[in-house]
Structure 1
Amino acid sequence: MFNFDFYNPTRILFGENRLESIDKYVPAEATVLITYGGGSAKKSGLINKIKTVLGNRKVYEFGGIEPNPRYETLVKGVEIVRNENIDFLLAVGGGSVIDGTKFITLASYYKGNSRDLLKYGMMPIPLDVVGKVVPFGTVLTLPATGSEMNSGAVISYEHGKYAVMSELAFPKFSILDPTITFSLPKTQVANGVIDAFVHTTEQYLTYPVDGKLQDRIAEGILQTLIEIGETTVVEPENYAARANHVWCATLALNGIVGAGVPQDWASHMIGHELTALFGIDHGQTLAIVLPSLLEVRREQKRAKLLQYAERVWHIEGGSDKEKIDLAILKTREFFESLGVKTRLSQYGVGADKIPVVIEQLKAHGMTALSETQDLTLDISQKILEGAV
């Protein structure tokens, strides 16, 4: 197992009827900016419920944070923070709203050009670069990204998606009430299951370093998602299934699974380009890329793929090759059982578009991906060809 630092200060408030907790954890004298997305949180009455809990605090609103939040949108939120002396942010939404709010909290007192915060990628922004930040909490409405309990965000700018990482971007608290997610469209629920699943495999399907506990936690998340995946999609008000979905999504990317083990993230990097170029939902891109990536990288990931086949899918018989073949097939079938397509061609993207994707990967510096940094553009091309 590798050396690691683990730090996660986010307080989780899980279960039904937890909105009242906001009053306890938002400072009584705070001027609050509520951030949200396309308006469903407003139309459902959730924003009004939160404002009631906030009581006499001065409250502003900033809506319109889009899926794959755009830098150009977020800087408008930064201006509100500066102009109205906001001293607490409350993100009400899924990963995009929370990611966007993280950028606002980091950029609001940044003295340089806030676009500079996009240049650090997967490297944490140095603390002295950011300086003062605006604290924030979250009310989760879509279980998927795990952003409610980590310090990372992905921000869209021009034709790229950029990682932003800082330990100053951990939420102070996150309210995880599964009932708030009951009204989600089935597509978003399915995407969320896949996002949590692939977050886990990115940290698990690499190579062995004797991280026994991390492996067991990852396998538990994967098995739980397989067990409840179809149910949480087709029975949106099944509390038990949705509660497990919510908690799996949070644990998949709160730092526990990836502590002390190698991490891949190539499926995400390639998937981000598919979203940016063709508008395919993030979770859908992962369902497209991961099965093909596992096929192309089966030798590099052989030991962990066999472990995945045996421990997650309970595949006991057959040769090693047959076990790996079946594990990859079952992964694809699981995604499809959620109603998600797993081929580029099913989204109208043919092999003729692959060179465009490769050029974007090259332009964004994604020339040496994977846990071993040997996944070249040529290999990315093979993965995309296998995904058509």
Structure 2
Amino acid sequence: MLNFQFHNPTRIVFGKDTVPALDELIPGDARVLILYGGQSAERTGTLAEVRKALGDRAHYEFGGIEPNPSFETLTQAVEQVRFHNIDYLLAVGGGSVIDGTKFVAAAAKFVGDSWQILETVGGAVRDALPFGAVLTLSATGSEMNFNAVVTRKATQTKALFASPHVFPQFSILDPSKTFTVPARQLANGVVDAFTHVVEQYLTYPVDARVQDRFAEGLLQTLIEIGPTVVSQPPDYQSRANMMWAATMALNGLIGAGVPQDWATHLVGHELTVLHGLDHAQTLAILLPSMLDARRDGKRAKLLQYAERVWHITADSEDERIDLAIEKTRAFFEDLGVKTRLSDYGIQAEAIDGLVEQLGLHGMTRLGERQDVTLEVSRTVLEASL
């Protein structure tokens, strides 16, 4: 096991009818800005619940945060924070809204060009406004970590930043809030959470048995409940397990003391920026091809994955790896998430532009061994056609 430090200060309030807890979680004299995405939060009544829970606190609202939150939109929210002297933020939505709120929290306290927050991957952040979250979609795990991804439309750049200053102080997780989420978003959430686990688990062995077993349990849980979550009428228990699995997938616990990959995510970002694909769609397309192209470096963990997650023990080692990758692709397909670039109208002539964009953004040495070069990324993209 590798050396590590683990600290997660986010308080989780989990269960039905927990939005009223906002009255206890947010200081009574706070000036609050509620941030949200589209109209679903209003239509489903969640915003009404939030307003009621805030009571007499001075509060304002900022809507319109995109599924891939943009620097341009979030900069407008920062202007509102400063104009209204906001001292507390509340994200109401899924991972994109929470990611956006993290940026607003940091940018509101930042002196200078706030794009430096992203240019330094969060290293320039010295302070941030406190914030909490009311989660309405299970997927990214942003409700219990200090990571965020923001897109700058002007330069077609999707950039990551991380800072311990942007941990949510609390997150309210009410699984019933996902009952009105469309099937496409539910399926994307399962794929996203599954790939988050794989990026931390499917690297190379360091005898981190606790982390491995946690990761395998999360993967098996997602395999078991994923089809129910996506295809069956809303069921509280399956949604509860989905919500907690997605949170646990990226709250730092299973990634402590182990090598991490993230190449699938970083290559996928360019597909989102250039071709408008959902984040999870890019993961479903790239992950099977990424595992196959890097099977030699991941061999030991791929065999462990085949045996412990998919219960594949027969045949040769290569056949076991082939079948594990095949089952991964089939799992995504069964959820309704297509796994080929051509399924989204993206053909071979698009690959040069994708590879060029990776180079422009410095994505030339990715993965747990830093061996995913532009040539490897090209191979993966070509195999994903």
Fold conserved between structures, TM > 0.5: yes
Shift of 1:236: 4.2
Matches within 5 A, 1:204-353: 204-353=201-350
Question: Which residue of structure 2 aligns with residue 63 of structure 1?
Answer: 63
- In structure 1, list runs of 5 or more residues that go unmatched: none
Matches within 5 A, 1:47-58: 47-58=47-58
Q: Secondary structure at the match of 1:171?
A: coil
Q: Secondary structure at the match of 1:130?
A: coil
Shift of 1:91: 0.1
Question: Which residue of structure 2 aligns with residue 5 of structure 1?
Answer: 5
Question: Which residue of structure 2 aligns with residue 93 of structure 1?
Answer: 93
Letter in 2 for 1:142: L
Q: Distance in 2 between matches of 1:79 and 1:134?
A: 14
Question: Which residue of structure 2 aligns with residue 130 of structure 1?
Answer: 125
Question: Which residue of structure 1 aligns with residue 32 of structure 2?
Answer: 32
- In structure 2, list runs of 5 or more residues that go unmatched: none
Q: How big is each residue's C-alpha offset from its partner over 1:140-170, in whole Å with a ceiling of 9 and x where there is no partner?
A: 0110000000000000013011001100000
Question: Which residue of structure 1 aligns with residue 179 of structure 2?
Answer: 182
Shift of 1:130: 2.9
Q: Distance in 2 between matches of 1:29 and 1:313?
A: 52
Shift of 1:139: 0.4
Question: Which residue of structure 1 aligns with residue 135 of structure 2?
Answer: 140
Shift of 1:109: 1.5
Percent identical pairs in the alignment equals: 59
Q: Distance in 2 between matches of 1:74 and 1:323?
A: 46
Question: Which residue of structure 1 aligns with residue 148 of structure 2?
Answer: 153
Contact 1:120 1:163 in 2 (8 A): no
1:16 matched to 2:11? The reply is: no
Question: Which residue of structure 2 aligns with residue 45 of structure 1?
Answer: 45
CA RMSD of aligned residues (A): 0.8
Shift of 1:239: 1.0
Shift of 1:131: 3.3
Contact 1:183 1:236 in 2 (8 A): no
The number of residues matched between the two structures is: 383
Q: Secondary structure at the match of 2:127?
A: coil
Q: Distance in 2 between matches of 1:61 and 1:265?
A: 34
Q: Distance in 2 between matches of 1:228 and 1:289?
A: 23
* Stretch of structure 1 that moved more, 35-44 or 301-310: 35-44
Shift of 1:120: 2.0
Shift of 1:353: 0.6
Q: Distance in 1 between matches of 2:66 and 2:21?
A: 27
TM-score, L = length of structure 2: 0.98
Question: Which residue of structure 2 aligns with residue 169 of structure 1?
Answer: 166
Shift of 1:357: 0.3
Q: Distance in 1 between matches of 2:334 and 2:37?
A: 28
The 4+ residue runs of structure 1 with deviation greater than 6 A are none
Shift of 1:132: 3.4
Q: Distance in 2 between matches of 1:132 and 1:274?
A: 32
Letter in 1 for 2:39: G
Q: Distance in 2 between matches of 1:132 and 1:271?
A: 30
Letter in 1 for 2:349: D
